[in-house]
Chain A
């Protein structure tokens, strides 16, 4: 597990998890988890299905009892409290709107249970916030998916919880609506200033909205930090592949001394700033993001940065915003390059001999003992389908 115990950003801790563990029989869903979420933060728990993120959320809500560990909301210990006694509210994955109640009564449900006064004014104000004024007497069954999502959000938010829990809240929406709701959710969170803990498997969604992301895998936090930190300097191959895409190339450390680490990839020397190296000796993985790489015709350019020569374009795909190249390297691996379509030059044709260039400070080095394909969902699908993958599958040394 990488990443030290996180510090909160000024406002104090709103949610603290200490050594939280949940076992279902022999299966450990959440393993000795420590986490601090700061007040007013938009916090995302990101990970593939089965990584324990939803179980963690359900333990905070009180819908699941932890096997071990503690949960604190601010100063208050809530570990043993029943769900209805906790100052948290949840936006459920399938919304779980009450089908027998109309929009108004769904939203008013929590207020009525707490016998709050001026329910009507509060509900109307909240429906205004989520832009559902005029739908008060509709039943959930008469609403679209996006509208149901807003009702679910309003129903939870109206109670002004100390922490709002969102369990894959946008999972059931189509892509366009999801983008729109991401912006909307972020706006609402900024407006109300409540701490949001958002569970998702969609890395783009997490990066768009969250101040801090915890990447979970196998019941533990793999890395924690701001979206930019995680993206620019992933701690593990899993994070490197799960958040966006990465080129990871097996290498050996040739010179561990000095400010810059020198690694050897098939005879070519690459430099890496020491601060961007997670491992400094033996077999390592050298990484660079595809959009950081510049592709040139073979031998044409000579930059001061890192350079891998002898590539051949094996595939070109035009996506409008960018052109995506797959470049076959001499040791059999295929590397990705995303080039923005500025129109400054024409695309390289498949078969062209090319070199790859990038800046040293965009390089990172990871421990070579890890699975090079961890967190790479397209690779997992390909291998599961029995299709042989191009390039070497293991993180061996390239000679």
Chain B
């Protein structure tokens, strides 16, 4: 059975006082290990609602829709690279965080990643195809990212085979600097207009 991958990653400017990170963290932390279709929809509605509030603070991003060959591999690739980077960075960083750099005012960006694997030809697939059919000139705009995130609660989760959400860094006091994001493997991220 063919599958379709949909992934969206967005860098959000977040100040310590902003509720975005805390809200997302709570939604993820309170999510059930086993979810019904209704619970799944509620979960994604909450995530989408929180992100919707932050659309004006979206700075960089990347999204992709891959149908058929490569879809499942792409899901595995995104999830394993993000989860894998955690292990790598932990080994590299050790256990004692650098308090000075972690509270730096420059490190104010967080990365939110949402990925999905849906059945090919399903109504979820059709919804994604329709909503992602965007002129190339509008691929990298905040409006597009807001619209794509708003698509997620519209999916029929009966036909969603896998999904994942990631928020990095996890620490409330940490963040990425623009320098971090312009190097170190994040060069693929696009500046959002």
A binds B: no
A-to-B contact residues, CB < 8 Å = none
